Amino acid sequence: MEHFRFIINLAALFWLCFHAMAKLEDRRYSMSCENGVCWRPDDEGPCEVDNDKPKLFRWEPIKKGYTRELELEPGKKYKMTTMANKPPIFEIRNFLSPEECEQIKNLATGKGLHTSIVHFDEHLLEKRKNIEGHAEGAASSFGSWDKNQDLSITKDEFMHFAVNYKYAYLTEEDVDNMINKLKLKEMDDGKVTLQEFSTFPTASIDSYINVLKQYHPRHKERYSNQAWLPHGRSADPVIRRLRERIKVLTRLPEEIIRGSEPLQVVRYDENGHYNGHYDSQSITAHPRDYKCCHTTVASTPHCRLCRYATVLYYLNDVEEGGETAFPAADNETYREEDLVKNVTGDVFNLLQNCHKARLVVPPEKGKAILWYNHFVDEDTGFMGERDDYTIHGGCGVTKGYKWVANNWITAPDLENIDYKSSFDDDATTT
């Protein structure tokens, strides 16, 4: 009898242990952070650590298409949907009301939109005709120009050379303008022969294309106008209300939201774009003594951007184009050098290659998208290394115009936890 009772008790103990472990595993699955920061329910906000500095909160993507319902204001709920897992990218439609969108645009217009390009001077191109001789590198080789190897170079082959060797997307009109401005007599009959190539001024052409890329709106890395709106105590009520909404959405501490950058409002006109880029900067790629640029101890330009997360708002419906593209989203084997090798031309030129990206988000008035530019450091709970999967950009506006606004949420890594933000109304130098 005693032996039987022992077996019953042992079985019961085994059953209890088994179910306890199962619950623990469920808890690990449902409450863990992707980067192993800590275990917590999604909506409990930041964990507290021994040094009284709150760890950073980060929404788990769960899976693409997963939707949460969040109460961001009393009695008002919003749906947040996962658009990508790597990096975690979330969409919240109707995050801003139509009235809020209009007020933000009005505030930016009143503040004064400043162009993010310099004035393009056509005389810069005309001066290229004075450069003689052959360029160095690929431009000096006839084979680089003669795509079909028929011993002549046509306008189409001009454009092909520009894409493959200069990452410049020229139209036929661009080529005609170049021929006229540089007085390329070799092109009088519409082609350059191998014999004519000996006097063909490739150095002049190479310099001309470089000027186009550096100064011409359609060929620049970025073409837009912008204004910055403060979000502190003196800010417009709409901006202050938005800041409170962001605090609830991100579950980040008050001091981090308060110390984040002013709201950047951007207008893109036709052909407006912003090629592939990162919002933040790598920790390990910079010297250790470089402080976060938003802190009161930073020394510009010897600092680095520490933008933990980005919240992007669309302030209008765009007639055509103007999407936001993430070329590397959910590409498990992504390496930047491989992506560049596998695509003809410049894959990060989103004026041309927008729809080759893995994720393309169409603009929609009032919509917000949230993503994390950095991981959370597993050991400290503070900001970790940059997530290179966050490379993104603004596709070209092909018709109409586009208004967006950016909330860049700054945060400290371990080296910067004791420094206040220069954007914080209550900040004091440490």
**Which residues sit opposite 81 in a β-bridge?**
67, 91
pLDDT at 301: 81
Domain ranges of the chain: 66-117+221-410, 137-215
Residue among 359, 404, 364, 334 at smallest CA distance from 61:
359
pLDDT at 307: 96
Residues whose CB falls within 8 Å of the CB of residue 119, separated by 6 or more in sequence, listed in order: none
Question: Which of residues 16 and 70 earns the better pLDDT score?
Answer: 70
Among residues of the chain, what percentage have pLDDT more than 70?
77
CATH superfamily assigned to domain 137-215: EF-hand (1.10.238.10)
Query: Stretch 350-359: mean pLDDT, rounded?
Result: 87
The answer to whether residues 273 and 395 touch, using CB atoms and an 8 Å cutoff, is: yes
57 — pLDDT class (breaks 50, 70, 90): very high
pLDDT at 214: 67
Query: Stretch 257-277: mean pLDDT, rounded?
Result: 92
| CA–CA separation, 411 and 379 (whole Å) | 16
100 — pLDDT class (breaks 50, 70, 90): very high
Which range scores top for mean pLDDT: 23-37, 155-169, 210-224, 362-376? 362-376
Total Cβ atoms within 10 A of residue 189:
10
Cβ burial 235-265 (10 Å sphere, 16+ → b, else e): bbebbeebbebbbbbbbbbebbbbbbbbbbb
| CA–CA separation, 93 and 108 (whole Å) | 22
Total Cβ atoms within 10 A of residue 78:
18
pLDDT at 25: 38
pLDDT at 273: 87
What angle do the packed helices 237-250 and 98-111 form, to 10 degrees?
120
What three-state secondary structure class fits 368?
Answer: strand
Tokens 């950009």 identify what position?
393
Residue 3 scores a pLDDT above 80:
no
Return the minimum-mean-pLDDT range out of 54-63, 128-137, 209-218, 245-254. 128-137
Residues whose CB falls within 8 Å of the CB of residue 17, separated by 6 or more in sequence, listed in order: none
pLDDT at 265: 97
Query: Stretch 62-89: mean pLDDT, rounded?
Result: 97
Residue 117 scores a pLDDT above 50:
no
Provide the mean pLDDT of the chain: 82
What are the tens digits of pLDDT across the range 180-227?
888 999 999 999 999 999 889 988 888 888 877 766 656 666 778 999
Residue 242 scores a pLDDT above 50:
yes
The answer to whether residues 39 and 32 touch, using CB atoms and an 8 Å cutoff, is: yes
pLDDT at 230: 93
pLDDT at 36: 36
Is CATH 2.60.120.620 correct for 66-117+221-410?
yes
Residue among 310, 306, 309 at smallest CA distance from 421:
306
Residues whose CB falls within 8 Å of the CB of residue 321, separated by 6 or more in sequence, listed in order: 354, 395, 396, 397, 398, 399, 402
Residue among 275, 134, 280, 135 at smallest CA distance from 213:
275
Return the minimum-mean-pLDDT range out of 122-126, 171-175, 355-359. 122-126
Residue 39 scores a pLDDT above 50:
no
Query: Model pTM greater than 0.75?
Result: no
Structural Rg of the chain based on CA atoms: 27
Which helix (DSSP H) or strand (DSSP E) does residue 263 occupy?
strand 263-268
pLDDT at 280: 94
Residues whose CB falls within 8 Å of the CB of residue 351, separated by 6 or more in sequence, listed in order: 169, 218, 271, 273, 275, 395, 396
| CA–CA separation, 201 and 102 (whole Å) | 52
| CA–CA separation, 267 and 272 (whole Å) | 8
pLDDT at 133: 57
